[in-house]
Structure formats: C-alpha cells, structure tokens
Amino acid sequence: MQIAKKYLTEGLIQLTILLSLIGVRVDIDSYLSGYYTPLIEINLGPSSAYTQTPFHNLRDTLDGYSVHPKCPELDYFFASRRLLDEVRTLGSPRFPTQLSAWLVHQVSATDKADCGPSNTNNTDTSSGSDGPGDQAGDDREHLPDSGHEVCQTTPGLGQGPCNSGACEFLQEASVCDVTWSSEEDAKIKEEEETAPLTQLAHSSTLEHESLLEGINVFSDPPRHHLPTIDIDQHWSNLLSLSVTDLDDLDSLVTERLSDLDTDITSAISQDVSLHDAMVTSAGVFGVASDRAESRPGTQQQRALFRLESTGSTHSDASPGMAVGLAALPFASECNLTGNVSQHSTLGGCLDEAVFDQINQLGLEGLDTIDIQLMGCLESMDPQVLEDLDSDSGLSLESSSGGPVSPGSSEMSSSSSSYCEDECGATGYSSEVDSLPAKGIMDYTTTWSPIDLSESVWHDHTYSSPTFFSPPSVTLPHKGIKEEPLSDDEDDGQRFEEREMSRDELRARAMCIPFSVLQIVNMPVEEFLEVLDGHGFSSEQVTLLRDIRRRGKNKLAAQNCRKRKLDAITGLQEEVERLQAQRDRLLREKQLTAKTMGAVGQQIKQLTRDVLARLRDDLGQPLNPERFTLQCGANGRVVVQPVRQPAVSTSTGNKTDKRKKEKKQ
DNA sequence: TAGTTCTGTCATTGC
DNA sequence: TCGCAATGACAGAAC
C-alpha cells in the first residue's frame, strides 16, 4: 500500500507537472490549425455560455470580413480571448490523458471486454453513454452521430490499465514521437477516417509530446495502439519521463507540488469522484458525457453553475482568477475535484500552478475582461446567456459590421446602409459605432456593464473596402451620444441630415447620385468613368474629386495614427523589455563580482598557504607580501616577486629597492 | 476656461 | 503625369 501510495503520489505530481506545462506552452498556430474544429464546436456550441463568444473567429474567417488587425482594443481582446480559449481548449483533448491516468486502477477487465480486444479507444459503452470522463460528448452533441463518438472516445479514457490513455501517453511520450514512421503514416490515413473516435485520446498524448519536445505536433494523426504495460511500468515510465524531459519544469510548480500529500492519495482512491469531475467539467469545455449532460436543456445552466461554483470554490484566489479558472479545463477539473472535499488541496495546487504560469504569460488582462463578462453572465438567465453569448460578438460586430453574430441580421436590417459594406471602410467608423443605438439597442443595454460597443471597439478598420454602402450616412462619431434615436420618421430624417457629413451634404446638394463611400471606394477606373459618363459639371467633378480625396485621406490619416500608436506601444514594450534585461544583467554583474571576490580571496589564502610552506635559499619561509604564485599557460605554477604598484607615493620605495638590487 | 484628445482636412513627399 | 499612401501640421469639436 505504501508503495502504491508512493507511485500514485509521484505519478500525480508528474501529471500536475504536465498540466502546468500545458498551461505554459501554448502554441497558438497549432491550436488554430490542429484543433480548430473542436475549438469552433466548443465556442459556438450552446453548451458553454461562457465560451460562445466567437470573437476569435471574427478576424479571419468570416465571409471575407475581417476586423482590422491593427485595432488595439481588438488585438488585446482577441489576444486575451484567444489565449483563454486556447487554454480552455486544452481541456477537451488533453484531459483525457489525465483522466486516463486517474482511471488506471478503475476499470476492470470486464470493461476491457467492452472495449474490444484490439481497439484501445473502444470501450466501455456504459462509461461512454453515461459519460464519465467523456469530454468529447459536449463537442459532439450537436453532431448527428454524437452518441457514437462519445461511446468510442470515452473508452479510450477510462479503459483498464493496459489500454488506458495513460499507457499510450507514457509510451508515446517517450518513444513514439521519435520513431514516427511512414508505416504509421499509412495507418494514419486509415485512422483519420475514424479520427473522431480515436483522436481525442491521442490528441492528449500528442499534445503532451509536443510539450515535452517543444515541438508542435498537432497535425499528427492518431497513433496506432501500443502494447499494454502494467501499472508499475506506467508509473516508472512516467517518473523517468519527468526526470529526463521535464528538467525545465518551473520551480514554482515544483514547489506547489510539494504540497501534495495525503490528499492526493485519498483523492486517487475515489475514482468515482474523478469520473464525476470529468463529467461535470465537460460542460465547461464543451465536452460532455451522456450521463451528466444528456439533457440539453440543462447544459447551459450547468455550465453557468459550474462557473459560479468554480469561483466560489477557490475563495483564496481573486475573483478574476476564479472566473478565469472556470474557463480552464484543468481548472474546472480542479474545481470539481475540490468539490469532493478531499481533493481541495490538489485542485488548489493545480489552480495556482496553472495560473502562475498563465500570469507569467502576461494574461492578467484576461481577468479583467472575464470578470466583467462573468459579472454579466452570472446575473442572467442561462437562456439569456446563450443569446448574450452571441451578442458579445455582436457588440463587437456592431462596431465593425461583422456578419458573425446572430444579432447581425437584426443589425443589418436596421442599419443595412452600412452593413452592406463589409469592407469596413471604417474611416466612416462613426457610422458603425452608431449601430448599437439603432439596431441593437436591447443588446447594448443588456451588455451595459461591458459596453463594448460604445467606446471600446472603435472600429478603425482601414482595410481596403469592397464596398457598397448605401447612400447616406457618414455619421460623425459624436452623433450617437448626442442624439437618441426617435421613432418618429421626421425626427429620424432630421437626425440623419444633421449627422451627415459635409461631403455627403455637398454631394446631395450637388445632386450627385453616389454616396461618399461609393465615391471613395470605387476603383479609379470606375471613378473616371463616372466622371466622364454622367455629364457632371465642373463643380460636380471637383466635388467628386475632393470627396474622394478627403475620404481616402481620412482613412489614411486613421491608418497613420493607428500605426503611430502601435509604434509607440511597441517602443514602450521594447523599453520595458530592455529595462528588464538591464536589471537582469546588473544582477548578474553583481553576482559575478561577488563570486570573483570570493574566488580571489580563496586564491590569496591558498597562495599564502603555499608560500608559507616554501623556503628561500636561506631556509626562510617566503614572505607572502613579496612573493606571489603565478600559473602559466602550460599549467606550471611559479613563484614570482610581487610587483610593486607604480604609485607616486611608492616612488621612494622603488628607488630604494633599485638601489638594493643594484647593490646585490 | 484651459488643457487634452479625437477627428477631419490640407499640404507635401515618395512610390 | 497621375493616383495613391503616408505623414506632419493645423483646426475644430468634445470632454
């Protein structure tokens, strides 16, 4: 029992180490490419109200629309959300590995029979249907064959010792990545057909491998199944793995891990609670088990509840930490583990380790955002939450004209004038900013605590527009704040006229049948054709040219200012980085000086000792003040007279010595 | 009321 | 030569 305890404790320490590594080493591109689909499923799925915000999808993926990459607020928000999402996404594919390790002792041989002899990822349909440990269920709930996948992916996690994902992980982590062969590639193609079934279990392994090796292997397909090994071998492999591959482990995590003690073993002894932990945690990641999450109607509620409970569980952490923690896969598991009273220590350690790592990544900003978001979410009905989730994107889109959010249809209907122009010819961003006031007032009010639409998301999207904008409006930015919309049409018209730009008014006054956006954005050839083909007067032509010039210059100015701000920001970051480097070098310098001083003292002492043992021609000990030891390049040590420093005060002594030497 | 910030515009330069 | 992007400078509005 003692041995088992030791194994389990150390093994869990290693698992925690791996988790901390997960928290640290996040490869964005890999996730975007390798896990893009699950990411989308997770974030767009209704089961996770917190993760539904599709901001990370806005930039590059939606119908040619993209938020301008230079928008600083967007950058910050996207970066934060993306990192958070990535960390959160780690849960579904990675946790199976951890779960497998936890369940090594749980599943008996009978389950093995359920799993089938050859397929390590089959299994345990009961666990699959019931969902313990199944994180893929949520992702695939929306899929027609979700149940099937759940059954088959889950097993890989909860299998017996020989087939557990831990086995695979252990072996693959230490061996497989290096010995990846073409033969396996062939198998990959076959298995890619059944990838949804096996990839989940494998993905965790792959990610761990990548973490260990510092290489992104997310494109790796599922591996073939490895032979089984016994539990002792698992743990020994795991331990050896840690020794060889985890040398660079963060010391902080290691310190935290030292706190793991009896609670861990007791936690390990309760596999059922771990199952439950995985089950309940699945909702957060969008990965569900059928048992716990089979009722779709309760999913959002469960997710929300889980978020709240997570925050309450970690009372020692800041609210933001707690909230952010809920978004993390391991965090939620920790939380759930902590819900089982005996596991609080482990959960706390994991949480702290993970967040220490995250904080080191500079993700503090996540807290502020997520605090606000969760502040809204927690106060709402789950059903409303679901809507708001999309609205969170909408508020962004409302400023950017993006088509993503469900509310966009409403937005476009009410303000189609600009939304048709997905270009984001956002020199006329003021128009876009006014959207919330027109079309989505309800959403705006709902999101008032964050109020992204008002001031945060100034959409200075300067990307070249593909245009089409409706005649009217270049609304000055201030327009939104000044004038609440009136339902009265006359008031609306007057408001519109009042908010029209000067050029728009001029164009209308000159009977120019083009909007400013059209004039500005149309290709030069088309513009020239318009000038020639419509029989405009010289005044009209001049106005058209001026409007086009001013419009383009306006965009250019916005671009220019944005770049300037970016440059300033970059320089500030560079300054901070250099200051930190300077401080570090100064500390190193001081340390080096100290070391040199100590070594010098040692050398002096050693020299004195040696000289004291040497005798001159008269048999007298050598005076350490007059002689010193010099080590030559060949390694020989010779005794040399001390050179007197050429100081003015010692000139007299020098002359005396010279006289003495001459006499001698 | 002065200072700050934001935005639009003009003039200029270089490609 | 023309179109355009980039940018400095200025002015006006809003806070």
pLDDT digits (tens, 9 = 90+) for A177-194: 333 333 444 444 444 433
Cβ A546 to strand B below 7 Å: yes
Which nucleotide does the CA of A549 lie closest to, via C1'?
A: C4
Amino acid at site A257: L
Cβ A556 to strand C below 7 Å: yes
The ranges assigned to domains in chain A are 2-26+90-378, 382-554, 614-663
pLDDT digits (tens, 9 = 90+) for A504-546: 888 888 888 888 888 888 888 888 888 888 888 888 888 888 8
Amino acid at site A535: G
Confidence of residue A659 (pLDDT cuts 50, 70, 90): low
Look up residue A317 and give its two tokens: 């952490």
The pLDDT value given to residue A493: 52
Cβ A565 to strand C below 7 Å: no
Cα(A320)–Cα(A329) distance, rounded to whole angstroms? Answer: 16
**Burial classification of residue A308, based on how many CB atoms lie within 10 Å of its CB (0-12 exposed, 13-18 middle, 19 or more buried):** middle
Confidence of residue A157 (pLDDT cuts 50, 70, 90): very low
Helices (H) and strands (E) in chain A, counts: 36, 2
* Distance measured from the CA of protein residue A523 to the C1' of nucleotide C13, in angstroms: 32
Alpha helices in A501-621 (DSSP H): 502-509, 516-521, 524-533, 538-613
Cα(A205)–Cα(A447) distance, rounded to whole angstroms? Answer: 40
* Distance measured from the CA of protein residue A9 to the C1' of nucleotide B1, in angstroms: 71
Nucleotides on chain B within 7 angstroms of protein Cβ: 6-11
C-alpha closest to that of A222 among A238, A207, A239, A243 = A207
Confidence of residue A658 (pLDDT cuts 50, 70, 90): low
Confidence of residue A598 (pLDDT cuts 50, 70, 90): very high
CB atoms within 10 A of CB A335: 31
A575: Cβ contacts below 8 Å, ≥ 6 apart = none
Cβ A464 to strand C below 7 Å: yes
Confidence of residue A449 (pLDDT cuts 50, 70, 90): very low
3 state SS for A328-387: CHHHHHHHHHHHCHHHHHHHHHHHHHHHHHHHHCCCHHHHHHHHHHHHHHHCCCHHHHHH
* Distance measured from the CA of protein residue A513 to the C1' of nucleotide C10, in angstroms: 32
Report residues 219-258 of A contacting strand C, contact meaning Cβ closer than 7 Å: none
Cβ A70 to strand B below 7 Å: no
CB A186 within 8 A of CB A222: no
pLDDT digits (tens, 9 = 90+) for A286-344: 333 333 333 333 333 333 333 333 333 333 333 333 333 333 333 333 333 333 333 33
CB A391 within 8 A of CB A435: no
Cβ A501 to strand B below 7 Å: yes
Confidence of residue A571 (pLDDT cuts 50, 70, 90): confident
Look up residue A272 and give its two tokens: 């059922």
Cα(A86)–Cα(A3) distance, rounded to whole angstroms? Answer: 37
pLDDT digits (tens, 9 = 90+) for A347-357: 333 333 333 34
Measured between alpha carbons, how far apart are the two ends of chain A, in Å?
85
Cβ A557 to strand B below 7 Å: yes
The pLDDT value given to residue A426: 35
CB A486 within 8 A of CB A518: no
Long-range CB contacts (within 8 A, 24+) of A339-344: A339/A277, A339/A309, A339/A313, A340/A267, A340/A270, A340/A273, A340/A276, A340/A277, A342/A263, A342/A266, A342/A267, A342/A270, A343/A263, A343/A266, A343/A267, A343/A270, A343/A273, A343/A277, A344/A263, A344/A313
Quick check: A383 pLDDT over 80?
Answer: no
Q: Which residue gives the smallest C-alpha to C1' distance to C13?
A: A478
Q: Indicate the DSSP class of residue A226.
A: P
Quick check: A646 pLDDT over 70?
Answer: no
pLDDT digits (tens, 9 = 90+) for A68-115: 333 433 444 444 444 444 444 444 333 333 333 333 333 443 443 343
Cβ A430 to strand B below 7 Å: yes
Residue-averaged pLDDT of chain A? 48
